[in-house]
Structure 1
Amino acid sequence: MYDLLIQNGKIVDGSGEAVFVGDVAIKDGKIAAVGRFSPTEAEKIIDAEGLIVAPGFIDHHSHSDYSLLGPHRFDNKVEQGITTEIVGQCGGTLAPIRPQDLERAAGMFGLADDQVKFFSEKLGTFSQYVDYLETIDLGDNWAFNAGHGSIREFVLGYENRAPTAHELEEMKDHVRNAMEAGAVGLSTGLIYPPASYADTDELVALLKVVAEYGGNYTTHMRSEGDSIVEAVREALEIGERAGVPVNIAHFKLCGKNNWNKLGEILELIENAQNRGLKVRADMYPYLAGSAGLIDAIPNCFAAEGPERLVENLKNEDFRKRVWRELQTGSGFENLIEYCGFDGVKIFGAAITEELKGKSIAEIAEERSTQPFDTICDIIVENAGDVRAGYFMREEAQVARLFALPYVMGCTDGSIKSEFLPAGHPRDTGSFPQLIRKFVREKKIVSIEEAIHKLTYLPADMTGLKGKGLIEEGYDADIAIFDLETLTDHADYLYPEAKNEGMKYVIVNGSIAVQDDQFTGVFSGKVLRKR
């Protein structure tokens, strides 16, 4: 007797092969069989006639891990059809973390003293962190990267220099600890201090440890704008020298002046693939990215840490130095140049909540201040805790990227928490929008191609066994949706607006979503690669 039988569905199995009508039988959290079966053979029946039955979606680039520090919930992810998240992205992870850095985070996440003490005992090493994860109720499955930035900060702080030989060995030990704990690879965020102070050789040395465990390299590259060609070259060089597959995180070209570089970048990637390097990329469908407003300040001014930077921005002479660097400097991501002041919008602010949804240009006009001073003022007013949207992509380019056979889907977002609410619509609507926009409306890819990109490709890239296909013996992670009505409603002003058309989401054999609503079932698991 099967636990659950999904009948009469249009099965898109994740392999890229043509859709077919059939049944999926589930028992003990696994796909027991695919074919045709009698309703009498199962305890529970889902009639999926007319609906797509696909493997659960894999969010290849998730930041949900930081939400664990406060009260949190999973509905915005699983209601998209996501059954697995790959966390530890852009070089940032919860572990290892120094006590002083945890104390700094306490203010942002509202942690009491006893909570700081509790987390300091759980997050000292990566293995302790993963052990802690296994005690938490998860709404979906989690696999994880080691974070280069977190490791570098733990060993060197914010110092802008190369590690000593001893420090490099200590960093390698942290990477090895993470890989032994089951990490799928190492991530970097090379526009963010202190990771931006690392050179190529440092990254190669750490990734050679990752290679010993069959892991991969996923990178928020050193540039997605003016220096993107050089950044892609560096990422590919690192992969080839270290002997690891490479994933380009949230693949995009920022700024109109850089949109014409796509052909050169694709040629670099294809040449590397022809040399035998496994290269993938992930992306979300929105035209705006999201980062801290403080990330618009060139990273050369952040070497003393974010608190000191906020303090320095109170000084008029310091602001003038920053402005001169933004006008004449190079070697950093000039988000203001890419977007313009009208293309930088406030998505969330700890104190000045009334600014949400407004552009820097609008706020400057309201305040009768210069736009750059307005940025500095908002950062200072909120002690650095400001989330911004950076509008710097082109619609046609986004579609072209998703059509590439090696590009996967992601949210680049987080589960909701009391202190990290959905600040960008990608947190809530990325996967429904990828399907709605590029399959149903624009017909850029077929439904079979789209599901392959959202399921099998990320499972293959991360080496997660039993994920990404509807096949006998695989985990029963399944999304059931109406292709004709699947719709995302989240936007930049209402990023938590619900999707519709996701009829069921099954995580490890349990129904986690029914009729677009999270059921409150926590059947997710921690996925250790080793």
Structure 2
Amino acid sequence: MMLLRGGTVIDGSAAPALRADVLVRDGHVAAIGAGLDARGARQVDVTGAVVCPGFVDIHTHSDLTLLANPDAPSKVHQGVTTEVVGNCGLGVAPLPAGCDRAAIRAAVSYLDLDPDVAWPWDDIDGYLATLEKTPPSVNVATLVPHLVLHAATVGFGDRAPGPAELDALCGLLADALDAGAAGLSTGLVYAPLTFAREAELDALAAVTAARGKVFAWHVRSYDDDLVPSVRQAVDVARRTGCRTQISHLAAVGRRNWGTVRQALDLVDAARAEGFDIGVDVYPYLHGNAPLAQLLPASVQENGLDPARLVDPAVRAEVRQHWAHQPLGWAEITVSRVPDAAPVTGHTIAELAVIQARQPDEVALDLLAMYGTGVLIVAGGRSEDDLRTVLGHPATVVASDGLALDPHGVTGAGSPHPRSYGCFPRYLSRYAGADLPAAIARCTSRPAAIAGLTDRGVLRPGAPADLVVLRPELIRDTADFAEPQRYPDGIDLVLVGGEPVVVNGTHTGARPGSVLRVREGIR
């Protein structure tokens, strides 16, 4: 039993802050108020600090890194107590009999930072059971990844599923949702989802809608075709009634700055008609992705074979495609490769100077050597766009990062600092004067989107996933030069009532729960 005494309580609902004590007992919030009976409780003086719910990160890629290091240090140190994995259509289950597991694992290599992590499961329930046996320091829920569904059923070619295959796709999705997945995610820039037709999206959305769960979209384009890509997601929501989340909304490339306002107008119009459509974003001007995401879909048909990229004709096709990309090579930095090659931390343009070659040839050589294993950090975004999205009433904050260990295999390379500082950065730089509303964007509101109705709230009876932070001190310290630094201003993190971080030190506790969403929101 623990009494957090003398703090300012912000309960996650956007209600005004109040001065109160918080009593934690048996893993739950037992009471909030003054003069609480705390006999036998460990008392912690939190005077001058804010006590709020732990942050609920609904857009993460920690599917496998939580198995590589269940302590989840980069996340718990920034106050995250619940992660939702399976985003952008990328994930690790279901894997029905007969599917090409090796090809699927290669296709989601963005998640696969530790080759020693085994994949013993066949379905979502088996994956969640594997997490339960670990267990992690954070709570975990999962979406159903569209890429795995599609690849396991249709394969990697440019074709639509036949009627029997579409039935199988929908059956796999239904089983996974019924096993407790929080919803469905797609990522239409990742092969083979680059070949997904609208009929397939409609069918999967209908299955998801029937269960009241959410459909999260990494839309087809965030650069020149951002607006029609968001329109596609909105149109599917209109046709099926599915609750919809537009992931990490941003406009990439200077020529596209300002188009987020047009994308948000589409969201607003649908919301005015009664459709439940939300948005999330991380508070940075750079993204993180596989370099292979920049390849034309035709080169990735039937899976990306790095050997194809030494073919002069293929290289010419790729170079022609890249001639129209909205980013320059000076805006694209190599953040990770599978070995210790001295390329991480350099832009493609810098590597071209070092190697006395053309930048596109450098990029093609990296892809020919490492395939989907080359990760990049890419810029080309606008501060005004970011503030426009963050200020929208439908927006919540989500990292799009991973639970990383700066001292282990998952911490290799030069990762995006959002994995270490997303939520402190938002609160210190973008929250504005209304701290309760800002905290709601990080807690109860994302939890509700995922159907996690007992998370992201500080109220009697709720699980005691809590953060004690100092508003005047909280800040991110991780940047692109030194991305693996923990934030300042977080005194205490509890997960299920158990201290996980105390004064900047991980306790080694792993009290996280696997969260299965049985009932959706209708």
**Alpha-carbon separation, structure 2, partners of 1:136 and 1:5:** 29
CA contact under 8 A between 1:351 and 1:382: conserved in structure 2? no
Asked whether 1:316 is paired with 2:308, we answer no
CA contact under 8 A between 2:67 and 2:134: conserved in structure 1? no
Evaluate the alpha carbon distance shift between residue 424 and residue 111 of structure 1 in structure 2; reply closer, same or farther with a 3 A threshold. Answer: closer
CA contact under 8 A between 1:127 and 1:177: conserved in structure 2? no
Asked whether 1:369 is paired with 2:369, we answer no
SS at match of 2:217: strand
Structure 2 residue aligned with 1:420: 410
Structure 1 residue aligned with 2:177: 179
Q: How much does 1:39 deviate?
A: 6.8
Q: How much does 1:396 deviate?
A: 2.1
- Alignment map for 1:28-427 (pairs within 5 Å): 28-38=26-36, 40-68=38-66, 70-71=68-69, 73-97=71-95, 98=99, 99-101=101-103, 111=115, 116=118, 119=119, 122-306=120-304, 308=305, 310-327=306-323, 337-351=325-339, 353-416=341-404, 418-421=408-411, 423-427=415-419
Q: Deviations over 1:112-153 (max 9, x none)?
A: 6xx75xx3xx32222222222221211011111001111101
SS at match of 1:373: helix
From 437, 448, 452, give the equivalent of 2:429: 437
Greater Cα shift, 48-57 or 384-393: 384-393
SS at match of 2:161: coil
CA contact under 8 A between 1:130 and 1:181: conserved in structure 2? no
Which runs of 5 or more residues in structure 1 are unaligned?
329-336
Which runs of 5 or more residues in structure 2 are unaligned?
none
Greater helix percent: which structure? Answer: 1
From 500, 504, 507, give the equivalent of 2:492: 504
Q: Deviations over 1:445-465 (max 9, x none)?
A: 521111010011111111112
Q: How much does 1:353 deviate?
A: 3.3
TM-score normalised by length of structure 2: 0.93
Q: How much does 1:110 deviate?
A: 5.8
**Alpha-carbon separation, structure 1, partners of 2:262 and 2:366:** 38
**Alpha-carbon separation, structure 2, partners of 1:521 and 1:39:** 27
TM-score normalised by length of structure 1: 0.92
- Count of residues paired in the alignment: 508
CA contact under 8 A between 2:114 and 2:410: conserved in structure 1? no
**Alpha-carbon separation, structure 2, partners of 1:132 and 1:6:** 34
CA contact under 8 A between 1:126 and 1:178: conserved in structure 2? yes
Asked whether 1:468 is paired with 2:456, we answer yes
Instruction: State the AA in 1 paired with 2:314.
Output: F
Structure 2 residue aligned with 1:481: 469
Q: Give aligned-pair identity as a percent.
A: 30
Evaluate the alpha carbon distance shift between residue 101 and residue 384 of structure 1 in structure 2; reply closer, same or farther with a 3 A threshold. Answer: closer
Q: How much does 1:244 deviate?
A: 1.4
Q: How much does 1:91 deviate?
A: 0.5
Instruction: State the AA in 2 paired with 1:420.
Output: T
Evaluate the alpha carbon distance shift between residue 402 and residue 192 of structure 1 in structure 2; reply closer, same or farther with a 3 A threshold. Answer: same
Structure 2 residue aligned with 1:451: 439
- Alignment map for 1:509-524 (pairs within 5 Å): 509-524=497-512
**Alpha-carbon separation, structure 1, partners of 2:78 and 2:248:** 18
Q: How much does 1:380 deviate?
A: 2.3
Instruction: State the AA in 1 paired with 2:286.
Output: A
Q: How much does 1:429 deviate?
A: 0.6
Q: How much does 1:164 deviate?
A: 0.4
Q: How much does 1:390 deviate?
A: 0.8
**Alpha-carbon separation, structure 2, partners of 1:232 and 1:384:** 26
CA contact under 8 A between 1:69 and 1:109: conserved in structure 2? no
SS at match of 1:32: strand
